[in-house]
A = this chain, B = another copy of it.
Amino acid sequence: MSGKPQYDEAAVIDAAVKVFWRHGYAATSINELTEETGLSRSSLYQRFRDKDGLFQAAMATYTDRVLRRMNAAEGRTGRERLVALLRGFVPADSASQRPPGCLLARSCAERIDLSPAGREATLSGVDRQREILAKLVRDAVANGELPTHTDAAALAWHFLGVLHAVLNLPQAGATANEVNRMIDVAMSAWPNLDSPARRTRSRRGSD
């Protein structure tokens, strides 16, 4: 069985994303990559140069997909868009297909052991995540939805932390319901100018 089936590069990278996402860079072996991508070792090195090259391709794809999902959040107000954004990353309780956690956050943690290029891709990825949140906040300030003295940078960092918490805390035992309630709590950092009083309130969910 050899030949020229012209493999589907997007599918290959997709599979690689899943492997790196699940195990991180260091704990991912070429063997597992060839098995999951279906690509032979030969073609893998031919196309991606080495493990790090495939990692960078996977990281680029993952980052684009995450950023697209963040940007796709809809809502009338900035607050509604932000809530939609966060809720969009709450993992479905029922045996999700997606690996747990976040490849960007994970690569951040192991960035010491990454190549300079991998490190750079990671850093720029989280930067772009944060920039999306910062822009959302800045727009809300411009709209009068948030007070002018709002510390937009601090809010962006905060919600970046919340986003990563949404992705990571399920691995620490949090249920989807608890994550959703946590989002409600975390949203109290976004002052609701219309009805200022309520804060630690809402409840939702299935367990």
Contact = CB atoms under 8 A, between A and B. Distances in A.
Contact of A155 (B113, B151, B154, B185): B185
Chain A interface size, under 10 / 10 to 19 / 20 to 34 / 35 or more? 35 or more
A14 to B, nearest CB: 19
Number of identical protomers? 2
Contacts of A200: 146-147, 149-151, 154-155, 189, 191
Interface in A129-167: 130, 146-147, 149-151, 153-155, 157-158, 160-162, 164-165
A189 B191 contact: no
A188 interface: yes
Contacts of A153: 178, 181
A150 to B, nearest CB: 5
Contacts of A66: none
Interface string A75-111: 0000000000000000000000000110001101111
Task: Please list the 5 inter-chain residue pairs (A to B) with the smallest Cβ-Cβ separation, ordered nearest first.
Answer: A161-B165, A154-B181, A26-B27, A158-B185, A157-B182
